[in-house]
Amino acid sequence: MDFAFDARTEELRAKLLAFMDEHVYPAEAVAEEQRAALASPWDTPAVVEELKAEARRQGLWNLFLPDAEYGAGLTNLQYAPLAEITGRSPQLAPTATNCAAPDTGNMEVLSQFADEQQKKQWLEPLLAGEIRSAFAMTEPEVASSDATNITTLIERDGDEYVITGRKWYISGAMNPDCKIFIVMGKTDPDGADIRRQQSMILVPRDTPGVTVKRAMQVFGYEDHYHGGHAEVVFDHARVPASSLIGEEGGGFAIAQARLGPGRIHHCMRLIGMAERAIELMCRRAASRTAFGKALAQQGVVHNWIADARVTVEQLRLLVLKTAWLMDTVGNKGAHTEIQAIKIATPRAVVDIIDRAIQLHGAGGVSQDFPLAELYAGARTLMIADGPDEVHQRSLARRELKKYV
Ligand SMILES: Cc1cc2nc3c(=O)[nH]c(=O)nc-3n(C[C@H](O)[C@H](O)[C@H](O)COP(=O)(O)OP(=O)(O)OC[C@H]3O[C@@H](n4cnc5c(N)ncnc54)[C@H](O)[C@@H]3O)c2cc1C
């Protein structure tokens, strides 16, 4: 078993690490200052566009897309360590490299399932980083971790579809650059097969009947860097029938295909977030003294740092194994491992960031360190993309099948 990265990955890692040092970390404070001066907090600070231009110039662009026709053509195993690096600055680096959710998942859906006209209209500007997008599935009224509960209607009316429903926590939708929603709804709510009732449809933001109502908060944060998480109402919004992605009834299958890569990308970035937390923890421990001793000399701090390092090494191996399986036997064959990393990574990273916060005292929960925001981001990943319990249920059932 060879644990080394291949030559292409090493080359991109070196480039990306230099890009982070030279451009991304210095831009963190600049972006904060610029955002404070913007007319709307949802507008994009100028420094983000500068980062995008520089990343593109350096070939650090669309790294997530395995299809070389559209993206960098990297395998999951090659992309994993790169996504980890971008996770160290989750507000800026994924957007700078055009590798930010939910655009990544949406671009994957469009590259795999959209027709030529849909690709031209929406995939091309997304690949170029000219517009942003959102994925609208979750609804406040129903338990949306079970996609068969979705109630939004997509009704055929002549040459059009009419969309009616209310969604929330739609990431990215507060950003005015978010021009397109991929909406999951039901075209056949009474159909016999509950997994064939759903379809996905493209709904432009400026469609009459579409209202982006408000920004939902996450632990009191509005998450400006990720375009917020909006409540969006579709009130008899009409789009041409050609806006459907794939066929009627195909929505459930597309959703499944979309989530495999999305989940592993989140886990890769989470490991980067944990690495940042460990670095901050060590720097702080080395520079603060309490009761006559550097914090770095306290046994409890040693335990926190050692445990964090051990955990990150374990998680990284599991994520890399999952990436390798996705490349070699496909997302279906890697089902158990994808669920395992989705269960293991957010909760372990939450724990590491929590220790780092503790070590920083009040500073840990303040806006002067990235820890509080990292914590909020990692904690929500125990819910978003399917709550832990849903993955535990399905993983345990497969395990039990061997015995019952
Ligand atoms: C920051 C953030 C960003 C998000 N971005 C998006 C987005 O861009 N687009 C989008 O469509 N959605 C998005 N979501 C929504 C997210 O996908 C849903 O919150 C998630 O799927 C859970 O659905 P729900 O909130 O309706 O919870 P419910 O389905 O009501 O579940 C609530 C809880 O019930 C328990 N539970 C559920 N099923 C089981 C089970 N089988 N066994 C045991 N316990 C169970 C779990 O503890 C679960 O957390 C986002 C959420 C957050 C927090």
pLDDT, one tens digit per residue, over 148-197 is: 999 999 999 999 999 999 999 999 999 999 999 999 999 999 999 999 99
Domain boundaries, the chain: 7-114, 132-245, 252-400
- Where does the pLDDT of residue 260 fall: very low under 50, low under 70, confident under 90, or very high at 90 and above? confident
175 CB within 6 A, ligand 1: no
pLDDT tens digit string along 97-123? 999 999 999 999 999 999 999 999 999
pLDDT of residue 385: 86
User: What percent of the chain has pLDDT above 90?
Assistant: 95
Consecutive H or E run containing 240: strand 229-240
Pocket test for ligand 1, best of 103, 142, 234, 383 (most atoms within 8 A of CB): 383
Distance from residue 386's CA to the centre of ligand 1 (Å): 6
- Where does the pLDDT of residue 256 fall: very low under 50, low under 70, confident under 90, or very high at 90 and above? confident
The domain defined by 132-245 folds into: Butyryl-CoA Dehydrogenase, subunit A; domain 2 (2.40.110)
Distance from residue 344's CA to the centre of ligand 1 (Å): 17
Torsional sign, CA 291, 296, 302, 305: positive
Is pLDDT above 90 for 302? yes
The phi, psi pair for 239, rounded to 5°, reads: -135, 155
70 CB within 6 A, ligand 1: no
Token pair of 332 as six digits: 């279906």
380 CB within 6 A, ligand 1: yes
The conformation of residue 21, written as its DSSP 8-state character, comes to: I
User: What percent of the chain has pLDDT above 70?
Assistant: 100
Instruction: Give the strand pairing for 244-245 and 198-204.
Output: antiparallel
pLDDT of residue 257: 80
* Integer Cα distance of 264 and 76 in angstroms: 9
Is pLDDT above 90 for 394? yes
DSSP alpha helix (H) spans, 216-298: 251-287
Distance from residue 254's CA to the centre of ligand 1 (Å): 18
What do you get for the CA distance between the two ends of the chain, in Å? 34
Is pLDDT above 80 for 388? yes
Is pLDDT above 90 for 263? no
The type of residue at 306 is: A
- Where does the pLDDT of residue 1 fall: very low under 50, low under 70, confident under 90, or very high at 90 and above? confident
Instruction: List beta partners, residue 293.
Output: 290
pLDDT tens digit string along 44-87? 999 999 999 999 999 999 999 998 999 999 999 999 999 999 99
* Integer Cα distance of 214 and 348 in angstroms: 31
Token pair of 195 as six digits: 């997994």
* Residue given tokens 């709904």 in the structure block: 203
- Where does the pLDDT of residue 10 fall: very low under 50, low under 70, confident under 90, or very high at 90 and above? very high
Pocket test for ligand 1, best of 390, 393, 394, 397 (most atoms within 8 A of CB): 390
Rounded to the nearest 10 degrees, the angle between the axes of helix 76-86 and helix 299-333 is 140
Distance from residue 377's CA to the centre of ligand 1 (Å): 14
Token pair of 393 as six digits: 């249920």
pLDDT of residue 221: 87
pLDDT of residue 259: 72
The type of residue at 358 is: Q
DSSP alpha helix (H) spans, 334-381: 335-359, 371-380
Mean pLDDT over all residues of the chain? 96
Q: Hey, which CATH number is domain 7-114, 1.20.58.1000, 3.30.1950.10, 1.10.540.10, 1.10.150.50?
A: 1.10.540.10
Q: Whose CA is nearest to atom 28 of ligand 1?
A: 143
In this structure, CATH architecture of domain 252-400: Up-down Bundle (1.20)
Spatial CA neighbour of 104 closest among 36, 55, 172: 172
Is pLDDT above 80 for 29? yes
* Integer Cα distance of 209 and 189 in angstroms: 21
Is pLDDT above 80 for 258? no
CB neighbour list of residue 3: distance below 8 Å, 6 or more residues apart: none
Distance from residue 62's CA to the centre of ligand 1 (Å): 28
Is pLDDT above 90 for 332? no
Write 353-358 long-range contacts (CB < 8 A, 24+).
353/273, 353/274, 353/277, 353/378, 355/277, 355/281, 355/304, 355/307, 355/308, 356/277, 356/278, 356/280, 356/281, 356/284, 356/308, 358/304
- Find the farthest-apart pair of alpha carbons in the chain and give their distance in angstroms, rounded: 78
Residues, the chain, total? 404
Distance from residue 221's CA to the centre of ligand 1 (Å): 18
pLDDT tens digit string along 119-151? 999 999 999 999 999 999 999 999 999 999 999
